[in-house]
Each structure stands twice: as structure tokens, then as C-alpha cells.
Structure 1
Amino acid sequence: MSVSFLRRVILAPFLAALIAASSPLAALAQTVTVHKTPWCGCCTKWVDHLRDHGFDVIVREKEDLAPVRAELGVPDDLMSCHTGEVDGYALEGHVPADQVKRLLAERPEALGLSVPGMPMGSPGMETPYPPDTYDVVVFTTDGAETYATYTGGNMVSLAD
């Protein structure tokens, strides 16, 4: 076998893999930074939910999340137990990963998404009892509106 043949057969696949690994397509996972209190178990379960759906997650534990929420523009009436950040958007509470992916695909002019309160059956708040119906809310500096609705743990409608 010639050296040229060996280069083409053996080195070519490695070079192709190296090029692919260094391309933007290799970085498909979005990174979500989650600000949570050290003692919150449901926040940890939400982090697991995000990771299970392909997100890279950085956890920052803080005693007081109010400064983070204020910086990200999360209204008081949309607060929950933890706050995330992804690609310039705020994620307040137990937002389902599919809605985070939708947000990143659609890129609305918004500050972020929220699942206000801590509804049973939302990601991280799983329960053996019937889950609550809850809304995922998209919010801006001018207000908020429903982005999606979940009933029985399943999405039932998307806002237009």
C-alpha cells in the first residue's frame, strides 16, 4: 500500500470528524444557567429535566434570587422558585424543555418565559396525583400572555 492510499483511507475520516467537531453544528446543546437556592429539591429536578432534554446546565446557588430576577426583568406576579437564563432570555420556574426549545427557535421579542408558582405536574414538580393545569407565559416589558397550556401533564394548546 502506498503512503498516499493510507492517508486517504485512514486520515480522511479523522480529518472529517475533526472538522465536524469544530463546526457550529457540533455545539447543538444550548447552555442554561440556573439560579436556585441551595435547599430546593424541585429546582434540582428541573435541572435534571433540562439535561434529559439535551441542554447543558450551569447551576448557580444563591440565597437571594431577587437581584437576578430584577436584572432579567421577571415581574413579581410571574415568580417561582428558580430563575434560568438562556441565550438572552429569562426562564422563571418550571418551564418545560419543549417550550424553551420553541422559544429559541421562534425568538420572539420577549424577556422570557415563566410558569408562575409551582404547579403540580410541571417539570420538576411531578406528583402521583392528577397534575394541575398550568400556563407557560411569555413576558415582555409591556406585559405577559399565554404561550402554551398544559393539562394532565401534556401540552394542550399553543398561543398564536
Structure 2
Amino acid sequence: METKGIEFEKKIESLEEKKKSLEDEKNTLEEKVAELNNKNADLDNKVAKLTETNTNLDEKVDKLTQTNTDLNNKVANLETELKSANSKVASVEASTQTTSQSTSNNSTKSSASSSGNTSSNVYYKNCTAAREAGAAPVHRGDPGYGPHLDRDGDGIRCE
């Protein structure tokens, strides 16, 4: 019987060692679970911050998109205004050129019939306009003379 008692004591001892080993393993696993729970909480915080950042960025994108739309509309309006202004300028230039040609022709006829009567309201935008009006070359003092057309400053324009 004593052998059985010794066997039982050994079994008890072996079981107690297993119990201690299992308790140690349990403690290790509980520590790992606690670490994972902390990491999970940290990740939840990061997700919340990223979600907030994403929301802020979405709001900024919306504002920038609206600003871009507003600026595109302003550009379109300015382009329309520019086209309109260019049309008006072209119309005024054409009218001025026609008036200049008419005035130049009248002035030429008038100066041919009367001696030395000059007109100071003749204007040529460029030498091409003066040539088309049949007024080139024009000397200083003649109708339509403009220093902007006399590049070399010798008193004769559109030579």
C-alpha cells in the first residue's frame, strides 16, 4: 500500500506542477489579451482621429471645389466681357479707319482744290491704314501725320 501512496503522491506532485504550469500559461495569455486590448483601444483612437481628419479634408475639398467653380464662372464672365470689349474695339477701329479714309480723301480733294488748307482731325492707326487711304508718305504738318508712325524721326512717316 505504501507504493500506492507514493504513486499517488507523485501523481499529485505531477498534477500540481501541471496546474502551476497551466496557471503560468494562463497568466501569460491574460497579459497578452490585456496588451491586445490596449492595442485595440489605441487603434480605435487612431481610427476616430483619421475619421475626423477625413471629415475635415472632405469639408476642405467641398470648399475648394466651390471656390474653383466660382473662379471658373468668373473666368467665363471675364472672357465674355473681353470678347465684347474686343468686338467694341474692333468696331471702333473699323469706324475710325473708315472715318480716317473718308476724311483723308476729303482732305486730299479739299487741299487739291484749295491752297494748303489742312485738317488736324485725321488719324491713322498705322502705316497700313495710311497707305490704304492713299496718304503715305506723309510729312510733318500734313493731315494725319503722327510721330508714332515716324520711326526714324526725320519728319516723314510711312516712307
Do Structure 1 and Structure 2 share a fold, with TM-score over 0.5?
no
TM range (shorter): under 0.3
TM-score (norm 1): 0.27
Where is the strand percentage greater, Structure 1 or Structure 2?
A: 1
Larger relative contact order, structure 1 or 2 (CA cutoff 8 Å, min sep 6) = 1
